[in-house]
Amino acid sequence: MKKATIDNPSSKKSLRKKYESFFAPFGRLLVKTGITPNMISLMSVGASLISCIAYSMGGSRGLLFGTFFLGVSSLLDMLDGSLARAKGIAGHFGALFDRTLDRISEFFFLLGIMAGGYVYPELVFFCFQGMILASYVRSTAENRGGLKMDSTKGLFERKEKLTLLSVGCLIEILLIEEVISSIWLFDFGILSVIIFIIGLVSNISAFQRLEFARKYHSKTKKTSD
């Protein structure tokens, strides 16, 4: 039986390769320390919890410290994969463990932003729902459909979403949203707009992955007939 294949978007694959090649030396350096990838993953969640607490303080200071620890958490999340590849132990459970902790970290980031009063709760729920849905479709397609679906399927990857979130927080600190909200009919700050965009592209990514899986299984069925 001939195996059906669907090409990955080359631009996003090259971007992922750039991430991996940039952090590869740090992964090789960490091999000598005795630290495991799972330990770094747990440290990443710890940083996201501190970020949540900082965001919940409110005000510009809360945004500044919250965004700083969001960056720390994201950096650690990149390092755990680099370390796993350097040790040659990147496996299924490690990927599952990492994805699970990623969702917990995202929850902490958004919870802190909501608790700090920066964004309407409805927008936070919409954003988190989209991020969870995109991850769920990918995991289900892989586990139940036997489809190897990397995170390049869809508009944004997780790193891009968190980068956009960080930029939104930094712009909010600079009070640019005061200018924007005075022009618009609704009292939305720039961070509210960013949260909405992340939620929107996450939902779009989920349905892009769903369509990718549909095409894959349609091709598989045809080649097996």
Q: Give the largest CA-CA distance in the chain.
A: 62
- Is 196's pLDDT higher than 90? yes
Sequence-separated (6 or more) residues with CB below 8 Å from residue 89: 37
Which pLDDT value is given to residue 91?
67
Which pLDDT value is given to residue 115?
95
Which pLDDT value is given to residue 96?
81
Which pLDDT value is given to residue 95?
78
Cβ 170 vs Cβ 67: under 8 Å:
yes
Which pLDDT value is given to residue 5?
41
Q: Please give the model's pTM, rounded to 2 decimal places.
A: 0.80
CA distance 6 to 201: 22
- In the structure, what pLDDT confidence band is assigned to residue 3 with cuts at 50, 70 and 90? very low
Full DSSP string of 15-69: HHHHHHHHHHHHHHHHHTTT--HHHHHHHHHHHHHHHHHHHHT-HHHHHHHHHHH
Which pLDDT value is given to residue 107?
96
- Is 105's pLDDT higher than 60? yes
- Is 152's pLDDT higher than 90? no
Q: Which CATH class is domain 10-224?
A: mainly alpha
Structure letter (DSSP) for residue 91: -
Question: For all residues of the chain together, what is the average pLDDT?
Answer: 80
pLDDT digits (tens, 9 = 90+) for 7-61: 444 445 556 677 667 777 777 787 778 888 888 899 999 999 999 999 999 988 9
Structure letter (DSSP) for residue 8: P
Cite the beta strand spans of 41-200 per DSSP E. Answer: none
Which pLDDT value is given to residue 197?
94
- Is 180's pLDDT higher than 60? no
Break the chain into its structural domains and give their ranges. 10-224
CA distance 150 to 132: 16
